[in-house]
Structure 1
């Protein structure tokens, strides 16, 4: 696969998604304003895909950054691909469009490019605030994912979003949507955790067979993120000796090797960093290529290990990570 900084993958609905994105997740310890500076720098460097979510609590900071870069001529609106996410407390069909409009208002945009269901689990919350580190305050709720999907389809028909997809869905949950009676639009993507320790080969193959683009988050591991959503006992991908050795061979960082590995597999890759140096380095992955023998070496690192296990939701009937894939 020939790759460059402007490469995009055509999704099943005909829209094209840039292959590399800036991730904007920010835990409570992070000042939300840093997302503004990170977004402006990323757009200046050449990123054209910004991956956000209502849950992250910083879309109101990202919106002005996008507007500033449009105003100063760095980008046009049509150059930018923004991914937003429907949080689990808005799964009632009558809440879906309201949640999307809230994202549009925060971003100061008329539409977003991709809107995805953040998690298949449906939740209630004590109030309308969703602090990342207070998952214990969520209450399980049973919701019809097919009904949620129909509400997502209505958002696309209303012109509020160009493409719709899902995140953290397993094969069974994807099939539930794909086999839904009167399906109007199938999911264009499934955004999941994916890295050398969780290479998602089986899920990728299933998605490929159904013309669903796999989008990867946590491609560098997330061991330094302080949140209860996560498995803090997992070893770091970017400290793996094989990844390090391959990086030394090409004079690249372990992070750049992990990113390049994902891109060469045809996976849209989200790289999260608010560090200016890392934002730039993470985009410098188009001047080298991993040969087949190095790709196979990295394939061999798979441990089916998750950094993001969301174990506080494991008793929910739609908890996605009990299935093999």
Structure 2
């Protein structure tokens, strides 16, 4: 089993640097999670919006029941969706998500996006998505401060050990840090060679905030969604810069892309369902890239964001 490095957070807790992303794991989710635990994964990154928390929890329970792993050895991650940002909504939906997972607390709980939308009852629509029951995008008046203070209370009452934010940019982090009683421990954002976000990563680290990258393979994560931007973009797995470095080290392009992040102190959460690829991703920490190789991959930056709400919603210019 691969000895995966850990990252120490600003609250003293440590998390694995390579975790398992649950976005788009929609078939045999329980088995996928169970098998991932067996090969060595200890961090599982979920969310209300992924619609598979109950199934993921079943995989966790199976592994716990069989004694493969102990609960305290796992880092279970979930996120507060946009439709639950009002202060009276935060605790109830967190408790519901914990019930789906079959656990008593989340190790990490993120604010999924810095945008508050009109409440939609999960009984009427699950997962809620971005639109209300009338198929409209309607923002609520909940502020980030209001939502964050309720997330802090989740820590106070033991429903979350660590809280963080996702899809925040620098100015919003600055604002949050002005009033945060509990500082965010982690920032989760889209990072890959086409969107390196180096200034944001530098700022987060300066503030003692760890960074987790999602969509580490760039367009690959979005091709199956048939998004034009991803389909038309040169795939990183066959980019000559990446393939040349992979060949030099006797590694796969996927391993090079993951190591490009982890070697710079960033956590990664790649999604995969095949056992051999699960192991391959974990083994991405077993070699080092040369400084000039890290730099060469950084030069591929195009500031090209794939998870950009206006592209698939026509509104909500979060990253404008």
Please report the TM-score for the alignment, with normalisation by the length of structure 2.
0.91
Residue 238 of structure 1 deviates from its aligned partner by: 1.8
Residue 270 of structure 1 deviates from its aligned partner by: 0.9
CA contact (8 A) 2:83 2:128 kept: no
Q: Aligned ranges for residues 1-325 of structure 1 at < 5 Å?
A: 5-26=3-24, 32-124=26-118, 127-128=121-122, 129-131=125-127, 137-180=136-179, 183-221=180-218, 222-226=221-225, 232-311=231-310, 312=312, 315-316=315-316, 319-322=317-320
Q: Deviations over 1:231-265 (max 9, x none)?
A: 55433222211111111111111111000111001
CA contact (8 A) 2:48 2:127 kept: no
After TM superposition, the structure 1 stretch with the greater mean CA deviation from structure 2, 222-231 or 122-131, is 222-231
Quick one: distance in 2 between partners of 1:234 and 1:100?
A: 37
Q: Deviations over 1:42-74 (max 9, x none)?
A: 111111110000110101001111111111121
Classify the secondary structure of the residue corresponding to 1:320.
Answer: coil
Give the superposed CA RMSD: 2.1
Quick one: distance in 2 between partners of 1:21 and 1:284?
A: 12
Unaligned runs of 5+ in 1: none
Aligned length: 311
Q: Deviations over 1:273-316 (max 9, x none)?
A: 12333222111213211111111111111111112111156744
Quick one: distance in 2 between partners of 1:169 and 1:71?
A: 37
Quick one: distance in 2 between partners of 1:132 and 1:233?
A: 29
Quick one: distance in 1 between partners of 2:128 and 2:296?
A: 35
Residue 147 of structure 1 deviates from its aligned partner by: 0.6
Structure 1 residues 142 and 206: alpha-carbon distance in aligned structure 2, compared to 1, 3 A threshold: same
